[in-house]
Structure 1
Amino acid sequence: MRRTSLALLSAALLVALPGVGTAQQGGTQQAKPPAARPQAAPRGPQLAAITLSGRYLAARVAEQDHDYDSAADQFDQALALSPGDPDLVYAAFRLRLYAGRLDTAAQLAPQVLSRRPNDGFGNMVMAVMAVRKGDYKAAERQLSRTDVENQMGVLRDYVMAWLKAGDKDFTAARAFLAKLKPAAGERAEAPALVIAAQIDEMAGDKAAAEAKYRRAVELDKNSLRTTLAVAEGLRRLGKTDDASAILETYGEKYSDAVVVDGLVGPNAPMPKPPSPATGIADILFNIGGILASDQRSQNSDVALIFYQMAASLQPEHDFAWLMIAGLYEQFQMVPKAIASLARIGPSSPLFWQAKLRAAALDAQQNKFDEAVSRLRVLAAEKPDRIDAALTLADLLRGKERYADSVQAYDTVINRLRNTDERHWMVFFSRGIAFERLKMWPKAELDMKKALELSPEQPHVLNYLGYSWIDQGMHLDEGMKMLQRATELRPDDGAITDSVGWAFYRLGQYDKSVEWLERATEQKGDDATITEHLGDAYWHVGRRREARFQWERALHQKPDKDRIAVIRDKLANGLSASNDKPTVYEKAANGKQGG
């Protein structure tokens, strides 16, 4: 039988886990609106029915908006009106999980399991509560009630290994791990070695643990989680210098991402020993990561539950808090995201990331000036780093404060020690700011530098190629760049629009129509693309269709400076006052003017 990787095994079991369904359903059969229970109402049966239905509907609306705290509150109040309703019990249980209220979810879990004895989340919540108390046998009994094939699957075997280790049955723990051991060279080999090393450490087999830790970091030098786990293990085994060297090497290599200062040196706190709680928390975190990487939004919602269970077992699980914050940001719940980032402590290598992210999130709460001030302080605090200045530059550019953003990008570029491919975006972004400031020679230099660092970047090819054509420069080379960009990103409506509009500026209106029609198919809600198509239709004699497209553009939230222009086109058609000449006409007019 072929050995399967940890990640693939975990992904496979999640397909049938309860909760992996739509965001509204939470992966379970959607509860029907509960029937009113007149006896639960203090002011009469008719009012009770309205109140109960109102609570239910308010909860559903909040859930659809990812406002799980409000949804949980509403379901709790509905449940108070009809405490025996099994559908409400399950809905309240599920929303308490989404809201991260595991303790109160555990209060409802016995009622859930009385009707759904094999329910995955019901059993998992009870198992998590047992692990937190150190009652590993109770957790094992809880998990044994879960349907192996349809619910916990492989996840249960990894959890069982940790539970057996908690009961000091290390032979049984290793037997569970042996069943799931990835083949040499598989991506999951290093994480599996870390788990085995931690269990060896718990068993007192220091030599075996050290060998596995060293092998894991050798296999997976690019993973921060593996690096941290190995460094912690080696420190506990008395290999402090080796641990510090591993951390410093990683911090130097990925200095744009992490700060390991708090983990290195004589004052660094001694890491806590491995335990079933921390081990199971990591497994739950891994499951959340697989779900969050799925493009379907409903899986991102369920990932939140796994991350929160991980944080419940290990409150200092900084990776979980960072991912929870990211999901809340995705759900546009910015205060919740900031509160989650605040859980990451100063000694964590993720603390710097958390501070940067929290500062940037302030800008989404109408605190733009505060965000700028905080980022400037952070940029000055660590003058050898680029991330705070880069976050500041991007924020300023997004607010169209182009001159200020250029200054911040200058700071970033001056701090670069070894410029490589990953820095193309810095030069590209500064180039955009220069272009918006009408400083084209400087913009062009930055665009060329970005292409030098990463020659096949479609966005740079698109921007530079179009800019050349729009200015009547390097026409053949510019068109080749645009067509290469479309080969790299054939479904990108913005790039397709650039090609269409370039043909327009070259006076090749038939080709322009062809490309712009394709662009509207790819990105039909973009006012700029729609307006461009209307202009091209006008030039090929399709004037009724042109006006139809301009009318559409007016309803697609165009930039404010385009509204009057589009209305003029609707009233008068294209004219010298509202149309762009071809690059040849522009050149001829320029010569005449001279």
Structure 2
Amino acid sequence: MSSKPHSSIIARPETSLLTAATLALAAFLAVPASFAQTNSQTGSAKTVQEKTPAAQPTAGQQPDLAQSYYHYMLAHEYEELATTSGRPEYATRAIEEYKLALNDDPSSKYLNSGLAELYFRTGHVRDSILAAQEQIKKDPNNLEAHKLLGNIYLRSLGDGQQGSPSDEMLKLAIGEYSKIVSLEPNNVEDRLLLGQLYSFAHDSAHAEEQFAAAKKIDPGSEDTALNMARLYTEQGDAKRAIQVLNDLPEEDKTGKTEFILGSTYDRLKDPKRAIEAYRKSLDLEPDNLDAERALAKALLNDNQLTPALQAYQDIASGDPSDPDAYLRISEIERRQGNYEEALTTLKKAKSLASDSLEISFNEGLLDDALGRYDDAAQIFEKLVADSEHTSGQYSDSEKSNRSLFLERLAIIYGEQNNTDKAIATYQKMAELGGEYVDHAYEAEVDTYRQAHDYDKATQVAREAVAKQPKSRAAKLMLAAQLADNGHVDEGVAMAKSLLNKTPADLEVYRQLANVYTRLRRWKEASEAIDQADQLSSGADDKLYIHFLRGTLFERQKLFTDAENEFRAALAIDPKNTMTLNYLGYMLADHDMKLDEALAMIQKAVELDPQNYAYLDSLGWAYFKLGKYNLAEEDLRKAVERNSTDATVHDHLGELYEKTGRLKLAASQWEESLNEYGHTVAADIDPGDVTKVQKRLDSARVRLAKEGSPLSPAAAKP
């Protein structure tokens, strides 16, 4: 026996491989098909031919099993060398040796299968297919040949254009696995694979049939349940997917099952059950960072800020290089009002992903929240510039991002009282086309209204209709503007002209309800809401009906009825910020259920911390509770964000008066009356104007008695 190193084996393969063949004789004796079987009693090798006659290569000629095995072992060794060295010539030699082995034993299924598989492993796919097909011609029920063909077709699915599956290969793979399933019908893995292929071919009925068969074979198979759940989810039946997963016995569920359950509940917007499933997934696989991330996200989506913060802090601790964890921590800190802490955390995220658009976006939000409007504007100006394409062509995701950047920049310009820049920014949004056009025009109208320039607001609404004559949204916006500006009949007629006895009438009746409520035409408003209610079907539609009725009752000072409607809306969506703020403010303004009112408004501010109206409501609730320091902080923020709202100035005036700063109070009431003087009648409750005037008159008298008159600049008639 040669004692030379392995390199000599490569130099003279025939000699060394023959030695290897001799040493591997025991393995040969165990080889299936026509090679050999071991006689356990005598220890001698008897050929299979002694029991079953082999196919004759030529008349009267017997297979040479020893020589066949010799070439097989050479083929095996060459194959190993090809694998370890990566040299293709060894693969070629392996194929040649397989052919020589088959010359000595042509009927061997084992050798035929081995050669076909070797062709496949060495990239000779066509030869592999032909070899397997040849075996199937000889034996249509050759399971190994069908599996090889199926495997080849399966691996070739990605050869279609642009990465899409090849229809022909998919059809061939389905054909082979259908045959495989018929040959071994109780094999769960085969059933699942065939079901997946059918699913890939969008043949849901046959896919479900195979998954059901697999489930019947093994009712506790997690793989089967996961495949069925995926199929139902693709069909849009998430509830059925959940049922399949929940039907699995608890002992058969793994962390993967619970994770998929959580993601499916997320699809259904059921954060409570999603959180429960993700927690179970983590219990089963404590080190699964994906499950922990999903749990943290679900907690954040459910507005459970404290546990979400803890979860993201755990993620950051486990993976300090994860910028998303720091980004979410910063977001939560911002929503909790801890702006400086949020900014510090965000800098950690930025150090890990300096080119992240989302991180830059959140940095701008933080600067805005801190009142650093110039810094915030600079960030969003850069985001807008970087997202601009000179061609004007954008993908859907690019449009979505750019619209967010433009909208936030326009809002900051509005906070800086720079109406012209805000309008120009919204006009850039309209250039994105489609749904962004209506949104841009609506925002322009709101911006002009906030600046009390109602004529320009109406002009923009008319322009929107002229440029989009088929847009119902534009016509309804113009109708509302006309009604507010004293052209009531024209506005109402325009809205009614859009009624056509279709489900689209829902939006028309909603707008009519708003118009009539603002005009204090209570009966007509109620009738419009009733009509809208009849056309409402989904939860969101019903929520808005309750909100409209609540607003109508509140404007009539029917506060109990209004509260009932607002609570009905919150029962549908407890996180609806519009309803939370409206009900919270109404209760606080009338000294009712102050603690609950505060909690509602706090929740609204958490969800939309830059909304000046919500900040004003929060400050007013604190004021009613006697927490004047907290009240002043939020009321001042509200005035900074919108200096044209008369109510905000009035509230800050009352706070100054209560804390002994009468001169500042009088100045705020003068600002309030000034803004009331420029506000459209539909936005004013005449009783509020009278109250502010009385407060100002009383303050002037008291200041005069104290010898502290208002400064000439501040003292306006």
**Shorter-chain TM-score tier:** 0.3 to 0.5
Compare CA radii of gyration and give the structure with the larger one: 2
What is the TM-score with the length of structure 1 in the denominator?
Answer: 0.44
TM-score (norm 2): 0.37
Greater relative contact order, per chain length (Cα 8 Å cut-off, separation 6+): 1
